[in-house]
Every structure is written in C-alpha cells, then in structure tokens.
Amino acid sequence: MQWCKYLKVILVLLCATIFTLTIYKVPLGHFKVLVNNSVVERLFHEEPCACMERCLAASDDKWFAEHFRKDVPPVLSLNNSVLPDHIFNWWQSLQSTKSKANYSQVIKELFSVIPEEEWYRDAGPSRCRTCAVVGNSGNLLGSHYGPVIDQHDFVFRMNKATVQGYEKDVGSRTTHRVMYPESATHLDNNTHLVLLPFKTIDIQWITSALTDGSIKRTRFKVIDKLQANKDKVMVMHPAFMHYVHNTWLHIKSQRSYPSTGFLVLIYALHICDEVNVFGFGANDKGTWHHYFEKTPKSLKRTGRHSGGIELQTLLELHERRLIHLYTGW
C-alpha cells in the first residue's frame, strides 16, 4: 500500500535525524526546527491524508471552506434517506413526472436490491485517493492524456461517453460511470454505477432495471434491464444535489439545476483526496462539442444548467490549486 512506502521513508529519516542529534549533541529543543515542513513532521501532526503534493482535506482556503460542507452525504444509504420538506420539494420540481409513488416505499425497495450502507467513509491519514473526473469535451482529442488518466485510483466517466477507439486521449479505465435513466448504458461487472436521480421514478427505474425490468419509460424510453453489478450501485443523494445547487452555484432560479459534470466534480471533492479534471470546456479553437461525435455539434446552449457559473467555479478551483484542470491545449 502507498502509505507503507511513506512510512518507510519516515522511519529512515527519523533514524538519520536521531543519529545526527546524538553525534553532534544537538539540543532536543531544536529537534522540531529540524523536522519542520518535512515528511517527518507527519509523526508529530496527524495529516488528514497521505497525499504528498495536494490533499483537499488539508486545505485552509477560506473560499473553499465557505463552500465545502462535509456534513452533506454524497450518496443515499438506508439510514440517511429521509429528506427535509424543502429539499424534497426542490428535488421533485427538477423534472416533471406523473408518478405519485411513495418515496419511503421507493427507498425501501431500492435498498432491498443494492447495498444499504453509506460508501466511502474511509478517509484518514493513511489514504491518498487520486481521482480523475473525465468529461466529454472535444478538447480531449489529440491530448494524449490516456496514460495520465489511467494512473488514478478512481476514474469517473459520464453517461454514454465511449472509450473504445479513443484510449490514447481519454484512457481505458472506468471505475465509476455516472448516469441517469435516459443516459444509461450497460456496464461490466467491475464498474460502479452512480445514479443521478432527478425524480422519484429514476430511483424506481434503477430498482426495476436491476430486477424485473418493469419500468420501460421515465421521461423517454429507457433501458428496461440493465447490465450492472448491483453490489456496486449507489445513488447520489438529493440533498447533495440541492447543496451543490445552493452552496456551490448559488442558483436562485428553480428552473435550473447543476449539470452532470459539475455534480460529479463536487462529488469527487467529497470522496477523493486529490482531484484532476479532464475534458471540460472548449477546445483550443473555442468550440464546444463531444469528443466522440463523428460530426461535432456546437454545445453553446446549456439547457437548464448554469454553464457560465459552473465554468467560473471550475476555474476558481483550479486557480486556488484545489484541483488541477487539464485543458487539452
């Protein structure tokens, strides 16, 4: 494990330091000065993570502290599924639906199929989880980022973004595929599915798609029986989506909600120690399009998403060295 390597380095440095102190009879009071700002200092102050270059949990950035809320759960569990009225009403307003399903019953059925525990509660001084958030921008073409992306512990991809044929630019690994019913695609047995539920029927759909396939339409026709490992399925918490909308984007309009890409970015900030972002924004010619489109179409319109605010926030995170944004050019 990675932390074992760091521990060996620390022990070697500690032994060398003690040896130096003994030979040259350096007063013990000066020992702290010798190790200050070094890797050995980890022995005296518990670090929030084991990453050497960047550790989100160690950030003392005031702007980040004003936005980041550790108390908001990123994914649903059986124990955290109750929603306050204002969040439930906001969530129900995102996409209209005729479904009048009982939310509590929907949740009960969901966790009879997928794991009911809360994921990723393993943060601590021994963990350095590196994550690549891979968007679908055409700026990935010709970037040769593939090997860099594949080196991360977690690789997040969105919706139906294809990998085959683009490996040199987008990588070949996918640990988490984030999707909603209308953008769903079949997964292999090793990939986590992270569902974005924009309405109650979306949660009903994932339960159905992993069992009897009874739901064949949400807003549009959807995959009725999904190939995915039900033990690796999780559902983004509606309260988390509300938090991203209100706290990170400060969106006042009820007609707007965060894009999939931005939700995944903030999700990564909550479960990772180091986050690198690929495939967001325009290419070097200022064109917005998907890398996998054979005939690129302009994506200037962002629908119900506040694209300008999202891009500004993304750049702010990069400038504050909280993430690293790979632009492709």
Q: Which of 6, 290, 305, 326 is catalytic?
A: 305
> Residue ranges of the alpha helices (H) in 72-221?
85-92, 103-110, 146-150, 167-170, 200-209
How far is 316 from 117, CA to CA, in rounded Å? Answer: 34
Structure tokens at 249: 């984007």
Structure tokens at 318: 């990069």
User: Computed over its alpha carbons, how large is the radius of gyration of the chain?
Assistant: 22
Does the annotation count 290 as an active-site position? no
Question: Element (H or E) spanning 133, and its range?
Answer: strand 130-134
How far is 205 from 95, CA to CA, in rounded Å? Answer: 15
Q: Residue 314's CB: how many other CB atoms inside 10 A?
A: 19
How far is 258 from 220, CA to CA, in rounded Å? Answer: 20
Evaluate whether 112 touches 283 at the Cβ level (below 8 Å). Answer: no
Does the annotation count 305 as an active-site position? yes
Q: Which of 243, 257, 267, 291 is catalytic?
A: 257
How far is 226 from 215, CA to CA, in rounded Å? Answer: 11
* The residue to which tokens 């001084």 are assigned: 125
Q: Is the dihedral of CA 176, 180, 181, 184 positive or negative?
A: negative
- C-alpha angle with apex 71: 238 to 78, nearest 5 degrees? 50
- Residues designated as active site: 257, 305
